[in-house]
Structure 1
Amino acid sequence: MHDFRKDRWADTVENFPHKQLTKSVSTRFVFSGWETLPKEILLQVFSDAHPDCSPNARLVCKWWKQNHDSALLELRPVRLDLASLPSLFPNTTSLDTSRTFGRVWPSLDCHDALVQVRRSLLDLTRLSKLRELDLSGAGSLTYKGSSMGIDCNVLEIIAGRLLSLRRLSLARCPLLRPAGLSALSPLTCLEELSLQGCEQLRDGGMHVIAGAVPSLTSLSVAGCVRLTDVGVRALSSLRVLQSLDTSDCPLIRGTSHSAIPSLVDVSLSGCHWLMSISPLILIASHLTRLNLSRCVHLADFSLSLVLPSLTTLRSLDLSHCSLLSEGALSFTSGLSNLTWLDISGCTQFSDRTLKAVACSALKLRSLSADGCMGITGSGLAEIAALLLESLSLCDCHRLSDRGILSLARGKVASTLEVLKIESAKMSSSTALVLASSMPRLKTLQLFNPTRLTAVGAHGMLWALSPGCSGSSPPREMEELLLAPCDTLGSRLTRSISLALPYLKSLSLGPAPGLRQVSVLSGLQRLTALSLQELDNVPSRDWAALGPLPFLQSLTAFRCAGVDNRALDGLSLRMPRLSHLCVSGCEHVGDEGILCASACPMLGSLDISETKATDASLWALAGMDLCSINIACCATIAHAKCRALAAPVSSAELRQQLTWTAGGDMAGRRAGTWPGGCGGRRGDGAPLKPPGK
């Protein structure tokens, strides 16, 4: 029998453009254009497409099928109706609806709509294979000021039908009451539960959870401001609980806790009145992580009772515990396995503290001591013998050249990968020695290098280049921060582009002396670029920046050259841009903001202190923005901000408003936005919102 399929394929190949179609050895035809499409763009295509197109999308090629199937297993719906999920995706195992409630229904005014939303929540119970469910923000739905989201009745139905759930998030659900949490008892397989920000949750809720869900291994009650020590003591019956997060619970004092021997990870961050931690973790023999940051009333005596017995501890966070003295870590003789330590903001810590750490924590790999005013060069000499991989010494104003050179001469120089340091006394020669002696350095952040000259900066950059490291494989610098840069000359960006071609993150500024940014186009691996207060870079140079195919975050803070023309050029050369900040750019107006909205993956926008008007809000309302900052925009009326709560698609906006081409982009984007409209149409008539 004749195979007509071969004839059809032969005819297709004969008439198809040969530049887009290649033939492999196995006679399998590969459409190179489809297979090389980035994954991020594919996910955007799947999220914007109609659900009926889902089966056809899997038939394009193997690359599309692979990404389509992986996207369905871990859904993050934004506009899709929840009621249609069970019929469209019956095999879904993980569902995150946090962005759905936060962006699609921020504030509903119709009681019938709220009833429909609650019905959609109940429809989720038809996903029988669901293992992970995130309902964060579902309790924020309101009607006439009262919450109408997830309550005890809805929770009882969900828990009674989704019996295979292992992870459940009910964060920011104000309607949850202690008695209603007993509805979780059918979830015998539940391992992780998040109740963050449930402000109505009291101590009685902890008693109910301990009795209803004994299989919990992870529990987060961060931000439950009414929770006290009585509620934490009730959790002692959870014998398999390994992770407990009680951050930002101000009523927890730690005076009446019962020990939970199975704990591995404990977070008490932000418990301002915490005075004792020994009853809670004294017999936790397997504790590996302890977070005590921002416990401002924690004293040395409390640490002396606990630290010697924590022989398995690997991570310790004591940042911003301002009451601790320089001898607080003298009891760390038992912390032989400690690998991560943060003492930032402990203003009383000094060289004596670093000496105690260097003598006891021999396995330490990461140390952060930002804001420890008492640290000098003698303290750096003590920790230079450690095999650190990350070291942060910002806001340590007493550091000198001698102390910094001790790092270059110690064992730490051979292992250090991340270095953050602030020293106004560091000279150019010290910076050169520091850069040339650390072959594994990938991240360098220098704050306030006032003594570093243009010649010294040029030499330091070339010492950091891949060819000068002397290591195998060659070093690849990934992140560089220099702030401020006003003494580093006008050719700093050119030196960076030539010496560090593998950079992924770059931050410069304030740098009033810089005159070029377009040369940074050679950094093809950049994912984050932050430039501040570049006053002498012209608009045409900003417009020439790019293409940067992997750039995801761009910050141009108070840069005088950034205007509408520059944003037009930038938006066309950065397809993956998801965060854009043009705060303080006085020449950016409605025209430039509409150009920025052309970025297909834009999710965060900062246009504060610009010339944006009410007209910009109607354009922004059609975008899927997670975060927007319009502070200090004097030409935006407060009443117009409600446009952001009523999304309008960009296509609908252009259909309902008549634009007149103008400005410098008339040839390229005719009929999209008038140049410098100032809140008016091209014919002078005031703008009106769609549908009015």
Structure 2
Amino acid sequence: MFEVETHISCLFPEILAIIFSYMDVKDKGRVAQVCTAWRDASYHKSVWRGVEAKLHLRRANPSLFPSLQTRGIKKVQILSLRRSLSYVIQGMPHIESLNLCGCFNLTDNGLGHAFVQDIPSLRLLNLSLCKQITDSSLGRIAQYLKNLEALDLGGCSNITNTGLLLIAWGLHKLKSLNLRSCRHVSDVGIGHISGMTRSAAEGCLSLEKLTLQDCQKLTDLSLKHVSKGLNKLKVLNLSFCGGISDAGMIHLSHMAHLCSLNLRSCDNISDTGIMHLAMGSLQLSGLDVSFCDKIGDQSLAYVAQGLYQLKSLSLCSCHISDDGINRMVRQMHELKTLNIGQCVRITDKGLELIADHLTQLTGIDLYGCTKITKRGLERITQLPCLKVLNLGLWQMTDSERSNNEAKKAFPASKSSGTKNNPPGVSVIVLVKGRNSCGHQDSSRALTTCSRMSGQQSAICWRTALANSCSSPLSFSHTSSSCFSWKKKFFLINYQSFYLQKTSDLKMIITKCRFQLDLNFVKSMTSYLPFRKKKRSEHSPTLCSFSS
């Protein structure tokens, strides 16, 4: 019998569409240029399912929106808005996701002209950093976007409690609300959202995720409103809320559905607050109390007693020691991520306890742990599931300061991985790059941010994962913010990155950084290779896509 070879051109368009759906966005565009058959197959809506179009609305393009509708694209991010927003809404009447993050020229007037009738398909709206938006726009949103499930108002500093009242009246299906740095929002506004005020009717009782980061007017009364009204809440971010205290933790301790709680840099949270959380009915899987100066070893004992089901625990810059680690590790069998960066009292003994008991650990942050040595690192790298290890600013001895000596801290491996790093373990290293305040030069050295002055000055820098320091790196940022803090130190960076290498695509962890000595940071990064992106990679396009 003769074997019959089937050429790819013989495949049905439906089969081609399935194949194309597994490609990345760039390749989807390329296959459409091969031939007419592939072009037709690439226009199948299943190929573009979940893809977000990124648009520069600088000039009229009559074919733009028909092309997006043909592909079935319903998610849009506006990178630059020089035309009316109504141009987008009219062109995509079935839009499901609209991202306007950073469109600084968007005003209440422009948004009012766009939302003039019901848009039942719209589920997600991102208005973060649209600083001209006020309560008037929230009235339009509440009136015409009844099916909205996610609303991001982060950085919209003109939003007040009145705007939250309008949201509480109109957006009953809302599941995610971001109010980061909304400086005028107070306990009254949270009461509206939680349905705890007479004027708020039902409130947004379907909320599952609430971000109140850096809302400085909030007190423990807000937590009382949240605990009584938002019974479905799963994720609560209270980071940088200086008005939150230990007493507020009593209210949160009875929220049975709460899975993740962020108390980062809440200065008034102490061991007593952790005790309240541990004594309640919480089933937390993630807890972040980084930079809470009053958290000590006693908190770890409480965590081991009542929050032993945690899978992620962040204790960066807390006053914990090996004794606290000893109290905790024997009960935390499900812990997968442990962040103890800047915990300067942790020594090799603490690492040995972690290595002996936290066998399920996949990631650990040891950034700035100055008392650990090569001996402790050798123990921690023997964890069977370890994939991410942050050794940023690990203080080496004089004989270990060179790059080659630093790599010898890891045992050699004959299997997959590099010569000096065991397989599956990624080391975080410092690299130069675009800083978090918007400077565009990817080759820019680490500098003091010129957009902040006096007490708000900050050094912008970043971390990236790498298997080997000897390979060229390239990366792209997915999110970034720059914050200042009213203390002796400044919170610098809160970013996540994807590292693009010829081998594996490694996950990048998100970290916060302190103000550092520039010369020391530069000395740490000077030996690291960096591949500049070509100018063409930074040039904007009219429309691009991301999955």
Q: Give me the TM-score of the superposition, normalised by structure 1.
A: 0.54
* Corresponding position: 1:214 with 2:146: yes
2:348 is matched with 428
1:352-406 deviation per Cα after TM superposition (whole angstroms, max 9, x unaligned):
111111111441221111111112212211111222111111111x322211111
Q: Distance in 2 between matches of 1:42 and 1:646?
A: 18
How many Å apart are 1:416 and its aligned residue? 1.0
Report if the CA contact (8 A) 2:182-2:215 is conserved: no
* Corresponding position: 1:150 with 2:84: yes
1:400 is matched with 321
Cα separation, partners in 2 of 1:443 and 1:280, compared to 1, 3 Å? farther
State the one-letter code of the partner of 2:114.
Answer: L
2:311 is matched with 389
Equivalent position SS for 2:188: coil
Equivalent position SS for 1:391: strand
State the one-letter code of the partner of 1:402.
Answer: D
Report if the CA contact (8 A) 1:95-1:130 is conserved: no
Report if the CA contact (8 A) 1:338-1:364 is conserved: yes
Q: Distance in 1 between matches of 2:209 and 2:414?
A: 36
State the one-letter code of the partner of 2:356.
Answer: S
Cα separation, partners in 2 of 1:157 and 1:365, compared to 1, 3 Å? closer
Q: Distance in 2 between matches of 1:527 and 1:69?
A: 39
Counterpart among 106, 109, 114 of residue 181 in structure 1: 114
How many Å apart are 1:448 and its aligned residue? 3.2
Cα separation, partners in 2 of 1:416 and 1:331, compared to 1, 3 Å? same
Cα separation, partners in 2 of 1:71 and 1:231, compared to 1, 3 Å? same
Counterpart among 407, 412, 421 of residue 498 in structure 1: 412
Q: Distance in 1 between matches of 2:165 and 2:244?
A: 26
- Alignment gaps of 5+ in structure 1: 11-25, 31-36, 60-64, 75-92, 106-113, 142-148, 264-275, 467-475, 504-517, 534-541, 556-570, 598-604, 606-619, 626-643, 648-692
Mapping 1:652-671, distance limit 5 Å: none
Counterpart among 420, 429, 432 of residue 530 in structure 1: 429
Q: Distance in 2 between matches of 1:405 and 1:325?
A: 27
Q: Distance in 2 between matches of 1:403 and 1:444?
A: 16
Report if the CA contact (8 A) 1:528-1:553 is conserved: no
Equivalent position SS for 1:384: helix
Q: Distance in 1 between matches of 2:324 and 2:391?
A: 20
Q: Distance in 1 between matches of 2:300 and 2:229?
A: 28
1:136 is matched with 78
1:244 is matched with 177
Mapping 1:85-104, distance limit 5 Å: 96-98=52-54, 100-101=55-56
Q: Distance in 2 between matches of 1:166 and 1:358?
A: 40
Equivalent position SS for 2:60: helix
Q: Distance in 2 between matches of 1:530 and 1:38?
A: 36
Q: Distance in 1 between matches of 2:229 and 2:153?
A: 26
Counterpart among 290, 293, 301 of residue 370 in structure 1: 290
Equivalent position SS for 2:339: strand
The alignment's C-alpha RMSD in Å is 4.8
Report if the CA contact (8 A) 1:122-1:157 is conserved: no
1:404-425 deviation per Cα after TM superposition (whole angstroms, max 9, x unaligned):
111123x21x111111114323
How many Å apart are 1:340 and its aligned residue? 1.3
Cα separation, partners in 2 of 1:54 and 1:439, compared to 1, 3 Å? farther
State the one-letter code of the partner of 1:150.
Answer: S
Equivalent position SS for 1:255: helix
How many Å apart are 1:180 and its aligned residue? 0.5
How many Å apart are 1:479 and its aligned residue? 0.3
2:334 is matched with 415
1:165 is matched with 95
Which structure would you say has the larger Rg?
Answer: 1
Q: Distance in 1 between matches of 2:189 and 2:274?
A: 33
Q: Aligned residue pairs: how many? A: 452
Report if the CA contact (8 A) 1:349-1:374 is conserved: yes
Mapping 1:439-458, distance limit 5 Å: 439-458=359-378
Report if the CA contact (8 A) 1:528-1:554 is conserved: no
Q: Distance in 1 between matches of 2:188 and 2:36?
A: 59
1:562-607 deviation per Cα after TM superposition (whole angstroms, max 9, x unaligned):
xxxxxxxxx996697999xxx9589999xx98xx35xxxxxxx5xx
Report if the CA contact (8 A) 2:159-2:185 is conserved: yes
Cα separation, partners in 2 of 1:282 and 1:372, compared to 1, 3 Å? farther
Q: Distance in 2 between matches of 1:45 and 1:223?
A: 35
1:325 is matched with 245
Q: Distance in 1 between matches of 2:239 and 2:365?
A: 20
Equivalent position SS for 1:334: coil
Cα separation, partners in 2 of 1:170 and 1:283, compared to 1, 3 Å? closer
How many Å apart are 1:328 and its aligned residue? 2.6
Report if the CA contact (8 A) 2:160-2:189 is conserved: no
Report if the CA contact (8 A) 1:547-1:573 is conserved: no
Q: Distance in 2 between matches of 1:493 and 1:351?
A: 38
Q: Give me the TM-score of the superposition, normalised by structure 2.
A: 0.67
Q: Distance in 1 between matches of 2:232 and 2:302?
A: 24
State the one-letter code of the partner of 1:429.
Answer: K
How many Å apart are 1:477 and its aligned residue? 1.1
1:313 is matched with 233
1:479 is matched with 388
Cα separation, partners in 2 of 1:528 and 1:486, compared to 1, 3 Å? closer
Q: Distance in 2 between matches of 1:41 and 1:128?
A: 19
Q: Distance in 2 between matches of 1:406 and 1:96?
A: 47
Report if the CA contact (8 A) 1:156-1:183 is conserved: no
Q: Distance in 2 between matches of 1:585 and 1:477?
A: 28
Q: Distance in 2 between matches of 1:376 and 1:345?
A: 14
State the one-letter code of the partner of 1:181.
Answer: A
The more displaced of 400-409 and 487-496 is: 487-496
Q: Distance in 1 between matches of 2:415 and 2:44?
A: 33
1:147-166 deviation per Cα after TM superposition (whole angstroms, max 9, x unaligned):
xx2244x25642xxx44333
More helix by share: 1
1:525-565 deviation per Cα after TM superposition (whole angstroms, max 9, x unaligned):
577752579xxxxxxxx9x96679xx76599xxxxxxxxxx
Cα separation, partners in 2 of 1:454 and 1:532, compared to 1, 3 Å? farther
State the one-letter code of the partner of 1:96.
Answer: E
Cα separation, partners in 2 of 1:130 and 1:372, compared to 1, 3 Å? same
How many Å apart are 1:94 and its aligned residue? 6.1
Q: Distance in 1 between matches of 2:507 and 2:254?
A: 46
State the one-letter code of the partner of 2:284.
Answer: L
Equivalent position SS for 2:217: coil
How many Å apart are 1:118 and its aligned residue? 1.3
Mapping 1:588-667, distance limit 5 Å: 596=531, 620-622=534-536, 624-625=537-538
Q: Distance in 2 between matches of 1:387 and 1:257?
A: 29
Cα separation, partners in 2 of 1:532 and 1:308, compared to 1, 3 Å? same
1:612 is matched with none
Equivalent position SS for 2:125: strand
State the one-letter code of the partner of 2:368.
Answer: N
Cα separation, partners in 2 of 1:311 and 1:119, compared to 1, 3 Å? closer
Equivalent position SS for 1:330: helix
Equivalent position SS for 2:261: strand
Report if the CA contact (8 A) 2:223-2:248 is conserved: yes
State the one-letter code of the partner of 2:378.
Answer: H
Q: Distance in 2 between matches of 1:424 and 1:500?
A: 34
Cα separation, partners in 2 of 1:351 and 1:126, compared to 1, 3 Å? closer
Higher relative contact order (CA 8 A, sep 6+): 2
State the one-letter code of the partner of 1:213.
Answer: L
- Alignment gaps of 5+ in structure 2: 9-18, 433-465, 478-499, 509-520, 543-547
Q: Distance in 2 between matches of 1:574 and 1:211?
A: 50
